[in-house]
Amino acid sequence: MHPYTVSLFGALLACLLASAAANDRLHLTPDDDADLAAGVSAYEARDVARAAAAFRKAAERNQRTAQFNLAVMYFAGDGVAVDPQAGLHWLRKAADNGMPRAQHALALLFDRGEHVPKSVAQATEWYRKAAEQGWRDAQVNLATQYFLGRGTVRDLAQAARWYEKAAEQGDEGACYIVASMYERGDGVAIDLPLAYYWYAQASSLGDRTAELKAREILAKLRGN
C-alpha cells in the first residue's frame, strides 16, 4: 500500500521522524557579513573552534544565519561543548529574526517535545511562519497539521492549499497527496485532470505507485 493512502498518516510520520536538531546542518552561504564569512571559511577548513567564535561574533550582532549556525554547533557539540539550552537560545533568536529554516527547526522541536515542552499548537505556528516564507518542508508539515487537526482545527481546504504549495516546489509526497485529494474531493472539488497532473508529477519524481494512479486516472478521463 502506498504510504500516502489511507488517511495520509504517512505525511505525519515523516514529519515526526525528521531530525529536530536544527536539521543538523549548518547554513554555509556566507551572506554579506565579515564574521559570518570568516566562520564559514573556518568551518569548511574544519577549524570548528574558530568557526564557532566567528559565528558568535556575528550572532551577538543579531545576524540570523550566524545564530542558526551557532545553534547547530551547540546541539551537535561541534567546536563547542554540547549545550542544548544554548542551542535552543540561538535557534529561537534566528527564528524570531525571521529565518525560515530556523523557524521550521524550532517547530520540529515543539512537535517532538525535544528541549522544549511538547506543544503541537506552538509547532503549528512555527510551521506556519516558515511555510509562509516558502520553506517547503514546513509547508508539508503545516498541511499535515491541518489534515489531522493537530494544533489547529481540522481544515482539509487549508491542508490541500499547503500540500499544493509544497508540490509546486517539487515535493514528491505532497504531489501524491494533493493528487489524491483532487481525486477524492478532500478539501477541494473533485478534479480528475488535476489529479492526473499531480500523480504524473509525483511519478516524474520517482513515485512508482503514482505512475499507476496516473494511468488509472487517464483511463477514466478517456472513458475507458
190 is a domain residue: no
Instruction: Print pLDDT tens along the chain (224 aa).
Output: 344 433 344 434 343 333 334 445 888 776 778 999 999 999 999 999 999 999 999 999 999 999 999 999 999 999 999 999 999 999 999 999 999 999 999 999 999 999 999 999 999 999 999 999 999 999 999 999 999 999 999 999 999 999 999 999 999 999 999 999 999 999 999 999 999 999 999 999 999 999 999 999 999 999 86
Residue 91 belongs to domain with CATH number: 1.25.40.10
How many Cβ atoms sit within 10 Å of the Cβ of residue 120?
18
103 is a domain residue: yes
Question: Exposed, middle or buried by CB within 10 Å (0-12, 13-18, 19+), for 171?
Answer: buried
196 is a domain residue: no
Per-residue b or e along 59-75, where b marks 16 or more CB atoms closer than 10 Å to that residue's CB: beeebbbbbbbbbbbbb
Q: Contact, 207 vs 214, CB < 8 A?
A: no
99 is a domain residue: yes
178 is a domain residue: no
Domain hosting residue 160, numbered range: 9-169
208 is a domain residue: no
79 is a domain residue: yes
Q: Which helix (H) or strand (E) holds 90?
A: helix 84-96
Q: For the chain, what is the domain count?
A: 1
Alpha helices in 113-207 (DSSP H): 120-132, 136-148, 156-168, 172-184, 192-204
pTM for the model stands at 0.87
| Long-range Cβ contact pairs of 183-192 (< 8 A, separation 24 or more) | 183/213, 183/217, 186/156, 186/159, 186/160, 187/155, 187/156, 187/157, 187/158, 187/159, 187/160, 188/156, 188/157, 188/160, 192/217, 192/220, 192/221
81 is a domain residue: yes
User: What pLDDT is stored for residue 113 in this prediction?
Assistant: 93
